[in-house]
Chain A
Amino acid sequence: MIYQDSKTLLAVRGLHATVNGIEILKGLDLTVKSGEVHAIMGPNGSGKSTFAKVLAGHPAYEVSGGGVVFEGGNLFELKPEARARAGVFLGFQYPIEIPGVANSQFLRLAYNTVQAGRGKDELDPLEFDDFVREKMKLLEMNPDFLDRSVNEGFSGGEKKRNEILQMALLEPKLAILDETDSGLDIDALRIVAGGVNQLANKDNAIVLVTHYQRLLNYIVPDYVHVMDAGRIVKTGGKELALELEARGYDWVGDEVKANARVSA
Chain B
Amino acid sequence: MVDDLVPAPAAGGRAASAPLLGRDTEPTLFELSEPGRKAWQLRTTNVPELPLDELVPEAHRRAAPVVLAEVSERDLVGHFTRLSHRQFSVDLGAYPLGSCTMKYNPKICDAVAALPGLADVHPAAPTNCIQGWLELLVELEASLCEITGMAAATLQPAAGAAGELTGLLLMRAWHEARGDTRHKVVIPDSAHGTNPASVTLGGFEVVTVPSDARGCVDVEALRAVLDEDVAGIMLTNPNTLGLFEEDIRSIADAVHGVGGLLYYDGANLNAILGVVRPGDMGFDIVHLNLHKTFATPHGGGGPGAGPVAVSERLAPFLPGPRPVRLGQPSSPHYGWAAPERSIGRLHSWHGNALVLARALTYVLVHGSDGLRDVARLAVLNANWLRKRLTGTFDAPYDRPCMHECVLSATSLKRATGVKALDVAKRLLEEGFHSPTVYFPLIVDEALMIEPTETESLQTLEALASAFERIVAEASTPEGARAATEAPHLTPVRRVDEARAARHLVPTFDARSS
Do these two chains interact? no
Interface residues of B (CB under 8 A from A): none
